[in-house]
Amino acid sequence: RADIKMQYKQLYVWNLKLSDAGIYTCEYGTHKVHTSLHIFKLTISLDGHFLQNEVPELILIQNSSSPLPTLSITLFDSNNNRVTPQLQNKSRQKYTVNLKKLETVDSGTWVCQVHSDSPLINQNISFAVKVLGFQNPDLERKYATVDSTVILSWHLNSQKIKWQEGFTGQLNWKQQESAKSHELLDFNVTAQGQLHETKKSNNLLFEIPERKPESTIEVKLPKVHFNHSGQYQCQLAYQGRHAQSKIELVVMKVSANPAGPLSRGANMTLTCQVSGPLAPNAYLSWERVNGTKMDIKNSKQREVKLEVNISAAGLWSCHLIEDSDRKISFHYHVEEAPVWISYVIIGASIGGSLLAFALGCLCIISGISWQRRRQRAKRMAQARQHLLENKTCQCQQ
């Protein structure tokens, strides 16, 4: 591991080890020159390959022939931002520090800056950090209306950091945190670094889009149902470790009672409902398009159901509003019943009332007639009884 360049009076040593530290002497005739070689060894846990939210451990070891100096260590991440490590163990020879939880944006070349005043040391040691994970927000919410089409996407950074090593993963869905989880698909990376996906479940009608960016996991719901809402969790695994990302799908539906056209003078109840849960600063709002402020009704924050009683036909819209931003809207057209239908309804009501009155009168007349017949029959029976009693008395005389 060493070679002497006589022309330049130089000694080349490669693949340095900690044991190579010490004092090197060059003798030329009666002249002697001493050079002290100080060696640092920097190692990072997991060989620099991490999943997001993992905490790396950094170990710096030094060796020299002279008494070991006290070092100060400064770290800079891939964006040249200074990182304050948590010092875990420190001795003259070995320094062990823990870094922060890593995110996908931390991938790149880091620098460990080593400094000492006596002897004077200013050494920059670079090392590579690769963080495999999702570029999605920690908890993403996606909104959809019933019968619409929605695509849920998870973006991995494996292509961006040129991660060619094998990892596997799966996509699960459940309606609530405590509900049973259903595996929708699993995936793995091929030898060429391409993602390969396999559909696992037929419990939910979904598709795997063919055209999509590299390192993207997608599921397509061609026709969303209200019970398709819930948590969709994409999980990847690498060497027994896991990272995951969730998308909360919130679905909105609207119903009317009674259903059908709205007659003049009649009322209708429109109900807007979302599967929830909503963000703390989110609420529902009903409004009539091109209507007045009187046609607007808002729910309380985080309420997942809002009803409005209307008497005017037209286009009504239910909005889900979060931080003054309309996340989703459902438009419901209330048709006005034709005039002749109103007349038919009024006529039917009047006719029904007259028929009920006539039936009532007929019942009263029938009742009176029946009562009179009953009284007449009763008087005749009493008269016959009276005559019979008189005849009996005459026979006795």
Q: Is 339 helix (H, G, I), strand (E, B) or coil?
A: helix
DSSP code string of 200-268: ---SS--B--SS--TTEEEEEESS--GGG-EEEEEEEEETTEEEEEEEEEEEEEEEEES-SPBPTT--E
Which tens digits make up the pLDDT trace of 265-310?
788 999 999 997 888 889 999 998 887 777 889 999 889 999 999 8
Average per-residue pLDDT in the chain?
Answer: 86
Which tens digits make up the pLDDT trace of 107-137?
999 999 999 998 899 999 999 999 999 998 8
Enter the tokens of residue 353. Answer: 């009332």
Query: 295: which DSSP letter?
Result: G
- What element of type H or E holds 350? helix 339-396
Rg (CA), the chain: 43
CATH superfamily of 258-334: Immunoglobulins (2.60.40.10)
Q: What is the pLDDT of residue 395?
A: 53
Q: What is the pLDDT of residue 391?
A: 58
Q: What is the pLDDT of residue 316?
A: 92
Lowest mean pLDDT among 248-262, 324-338, 366-380: 366-380
Q: Which long-range contacts (CB under 8 A, 24 or more apart) does 85-89 make?
A: 85/58, 88/57
User: What is the four-CA torsion angle of 304, 310, 313, 314, rounded to 10 degrees?
Assistant: -40
Rounded CA gap, 201 and 185, in Å?
7
Could you list the beta-strand ranges (E) of 146-240: 150-155, 168-174, 182-189, 195-199, 216-221, 230-238
Enter the tokens of residue 252. Answer: 């909105």
Rounded CA gap, 57 and 60, in Å?
10
| Stated pTM of the model | 0.75
Nearest partner of 43 among 89, 112, 103, judged by Cα = 112
C-beta atoms surrounding 276 within 10 Å? 14
Residue 177 has pLDDT above 60, yes or no: yes
Give the pairing type, strands 150-155 and 86-90. unpaired
Q: What is the pLDDT of residue 133?
A: 93
Residue 341 has pLDDT above 50, yes or no: no
116 φ, ψ (degrees, to nearest 5): -150, 140
Nearest partner of 84 among 105, 95, 99, 103, judged by Cα = 99
Which segments of the chain belong to CATH 2.60.40.10? 22-132, 140-250, 258-334
Which tens digits make up the pLDDT trace of 60-94?
999 998 889 989 999 999 999 999 887 777 788 99
Residues in the chain: 397
Residue 226 has pLDDT above 60, yes or no: yes
Q: What is the pLDDT of residue 343?
A: 52
Which residues are within 8 A (CB) of 309 and not within 5 positions of it... i.e. 6 or more apart? 267, 268, 269
Rounded CA gap, 236 and 134, in Å?
9
Q: How confident is the model at residue 351 (pLDDT cuts 50, 70, 90)?
A: low
Q: Is 127 helix (H, G, I), strand (E, B) or coil?
A: strand
Query: 373: which DSSP letter?
Result: H
Residue 397 has pLDDT above 50, yes or no: no
**Is 207 within 8 Å of 219 (Cβ atoms)?**
yes
Q: What is the pLDDT of residue 273?
A: 95
Q: What is the pLDDT of residue 340?
A: 45
Residue 323 has pLDDT above 60, yes or no: yes
> In the CATH hierarchy, which fold is given to the domain comprising 22-132?
Immunoglobulin-like (2.60.40)
Rounded CA gap, 383 and 379, in Å?
6
CATH tag, 140-250: 2.60.40.10
**Is 56 within 8 Å of 99 (Cβ atoms)?**
yes
Which tens digits make up the pLDDT trace of 26-56?
888 888 888 889 999 999 999 999 999 999 9
- % of the chain exceeding 70 in pLDDT: 90
Nearest partner of 284 among 269, 270, 297, 268, judged by Cα = 297
Residue 149 has pLDDT above 90, yes or no: yes
Question: Which residues lie across from 127 on neighbouring strands?
Answer: 110
Rounded CA gap, 127 and 394, in Å?
143
Nearest partner of 125 among 71, 206, 68, 88, judged by Cα = 71
Nearest partner of 265 among 170, 183, 156, 341, judged by Cα = 341
Which residues are within 8 A (CB) of 388 and not within 5 positions of it... i.e. 6 or more apart? none
36 residue type, one letter: S
Q: What is the pLDDT of residue 151?
A: 94
Residue 216 has pLDDT above 80, yes or no: yes
